[in-house]
């Protein structure tokens, strides 16, 4: 009977090599945080498995110990994978009972060697049992019969083949198959699509947005300049919103978003008859003017490109206490909308075209009085810092 350490080593390698390499490639390729997390745990599982190879070499003189180590390595990798798979649709594939049995087999193997049992056949059967448990737990779950099948074929070969070194190798080969199956059928595809969408989709969309942005800005500014009530309003709100976002320490991507969204926040006014824009105090929202948020929604809903600014267009008149037109409350109001809300009221108060004109101090005092009820406190604080620096 031939038992070679090389055979066991190759067996361990066959199960973890593809898996580990693929996991780390996936980690660097993917931009999705969840997939990144999965690949990292996956990489860890593979590394733990690979780490047993040097230990196997150290136990060269003791073939029984090699079997035990192979079993433990197999179980450990499986247990770590259970953590990974709980993220995916294959969650049920690794029922708890199979993990408990695998853990028990490992403990039994350690206990047997501790009390001096040296029956190599017994340890080989324990390894076969490990494969059987994994195979069964895969089989029990619908839709993943291929994995169960590869494990079962391996089991049959394991029993039929006389060469036990080859048997060990065969018992572990399904791991390689399964890794390839998972990667190619499941998250390989997902990652590829996510990668393409996140890299190229975003770039293509940004390019299109840039093309239309200038035109839209020009249009809004042109329309606003025709009415004294709205002259330069959006351009001013854009500058103040950017200032608040900068003061709040937001990242560049968020600042860019707020900058574009604030410029078109009142796009709905394009559908409001200017005679309906009533002369009123800037801090008052009349039902006639508030309808511009719903017209804005209708306009954006027809645009694949500008739809991403909908949260600001629709919610920039929401009050923190939930008394706004859409009844959104607190943190449920998207942060960019909370920022534009404050920039918008401040701009209208200090540049009031028809109603009472406020000084910067008066406007800031009014906004601070309503901090926490109408306006987000952090946003108001950022506005205050912005004002001290720029006015």
Residue 285 token pair: 């929202």
Q: Could you tell me if 4 and 163 are in contact, meaning their C-beta atoms sit under 8 angstroms apart?
A: no
Q: Could you tell me if 89 and 187 are in contact, meaning their C-beta atoms sit under 8 angstroms apart?
A: no
- From 105-113, 141-149, 266-274, 379-387, give the range in contact with Fe ion by CB under 5 A: 266-274
Return the exposure string of 275-295: e unless at least 16 CB atoms fall within 10 Å of the residue's CB, then b: eebeebebbeeeeebebbbeb
Between 183 and 236, name the residue whose CB sits nearer to Fe ion.
Answer: 236
Instruction: Tell me which DSSP letter residue 359 carries.
Output: P
Q: How far is the CB of 100 from Fe ion (least distance, A)?
A: 60
Residue 313 token pair: 């267009």
Between 81 and 347, name the residue whose CB sits nearer to Fe ion.
Answer: 347
Q: Could you tell me if 86 and 65 are in contact, meaning their C-beta atoms sit under 8 angstroms apart?
A: no
* Neighbour count for residue 89 (Cβ, 10 Å): 11
Q: How far is the CB of 310 from Fe ion (least distance, A)?
A: 14
- From 55-63, 251-259, 338-346, 353-361, give the range in contact with Fe ion by CB under 5 A: 338-346
- From 260-268, 271-279, 318-326, 371-379, give the range in contact with Fe ion by CB under 5 A: 260-268
Q: How far is the CB of 188 from Fe ion (least distance, A)?
A: 46
Between 242 and 266, name the residue whose CB sits nearer to Fe ion.
Answer: 266
Q: How far is the CB of 78 from Fe ion (least distance, A)?
A: 57
Between 317 and 371, name the residue whose CB sits nearer to Fe ion.
Answer: 317
Reference 373, options 305, 320, 303, 300; nearest CA is 320
Q: Is 81 in the site for Fe ion (CB under 5 A)?
A: no
Q: How far is the CB of 317 from Fe ion (least distance, A)?
A: 6
Q: What gap in Å lies between CA 120 and CA 9, rounded to an integer?
A: 17
In the chain, which ranges are E strands? none
User: For Fe ion, which residue of 81, 266, 318, 376 counts as binding (CB under 5 A)?
Assistant: 266
Between 247 and 344, name the residue whose CB sits nearer to Fe ion.
Answer: 344
Q: How far is the CB of 247 from Fe ion (least distance, A)?
A: 20
Instruction: State how far Cα 31 lies from the chain centre.
Output: 8
Instruction: Tell me which DSSP letter residue 371 carries.
Output: B
Q: How far is the CB of 309 from Fe ion (least distance, A)?
A: 13
Between 87 and 294, name the residue whose CB sits nearer to Fe ion.
Answer: 294
Segment 339-368, which members bind Fe ion (CB under 5 A)? 344
Residues facing 375 on adjacent strands: 371
* Neighbour count for residue 119 (Cβ, 10 Å): 11
Between 80 and 335, name the residue whose CB sits nearer to Fe ion.
Answer: 335
**Residues near Fe ion, by CB under 5 A:** 266, 344
């Amino acid at each position: 009977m031939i038992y070679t350490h090389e055979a066991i080593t190759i067996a361990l390698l066959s199960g973890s090599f593809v898996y580990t390499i693929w996991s780390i490639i996936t980690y660097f390729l993917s931009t999705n945080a969840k997939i990144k997390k999965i690949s990292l745990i996956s990489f860890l599982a593979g590394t733990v498995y690979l780490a047993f190879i040097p230990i196997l070499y150290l136990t060269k003189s003791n073939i029984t110990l090699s079997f035990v180590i192979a079993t433990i390595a197999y179980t450990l990798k499986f247990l770590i994978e259970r953590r990974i798979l709980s993220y995916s649709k294959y969650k049920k594939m690794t029922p708890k009972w199979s993990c408990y049995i695998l853990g028990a087999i490992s403990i039994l193997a350690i206990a047997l060697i501790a009390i001096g049992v040296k029956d190599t056949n017994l340890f080989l059967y324990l390894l076969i049992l490990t494969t059987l448990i994994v195979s069964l737990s895969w089989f029990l779950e619908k839709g993943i019969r291929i994995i169960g099948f590869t494990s079962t074929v391996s089991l049959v070969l394991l029993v039929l083949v006389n060469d036990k070194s080859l048997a060990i190798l065969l018992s572990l080969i399904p791991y390689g198959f399964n890794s390839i199956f998972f990667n190619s059928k499941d998250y390989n595809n997902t990652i590829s699509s996510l990668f393409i969408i996140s890299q190229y989709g975003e770039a293509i969309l940004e390019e299109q947005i840039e093309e239309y942005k200038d035109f839209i800005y020009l249009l809004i500014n042109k329309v606003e300049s025709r009415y004294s009530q709205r002259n330069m309003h959006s351009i001013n709100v854009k500058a103040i919103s950017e200032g608040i976002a900068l003061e709040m320490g937001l990242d560049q991507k968020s600042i860019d978003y707020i900058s574009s969204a604030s410029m078109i926040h009142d796009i709905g006014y394009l559908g409001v008859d200017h005679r309906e824009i009533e002369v009123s105090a800037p801090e008052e929202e009349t039902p006639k003017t508030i309808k511009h948020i719903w017209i804005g929604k209708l306009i954006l809903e027809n645009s694949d490109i500008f739809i991403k600014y909908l949260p600001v267009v629709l919610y920039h008149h929401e009050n923190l206490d939930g008394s706004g037109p859409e009844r959104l409350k607190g943190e449920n109001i998207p942060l960019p909308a909370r920022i534009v809300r404050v920039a918008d009221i401040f701009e209208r108060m200090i540049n009031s075209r028809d109603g009472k004109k406020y000084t910067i101090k008066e406007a800031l005092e009014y906004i601070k009085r309503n901090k926490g009820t109408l306006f987000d406190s952090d946003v108001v604080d950022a506005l205050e810092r912005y004002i001290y620096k720029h006015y």
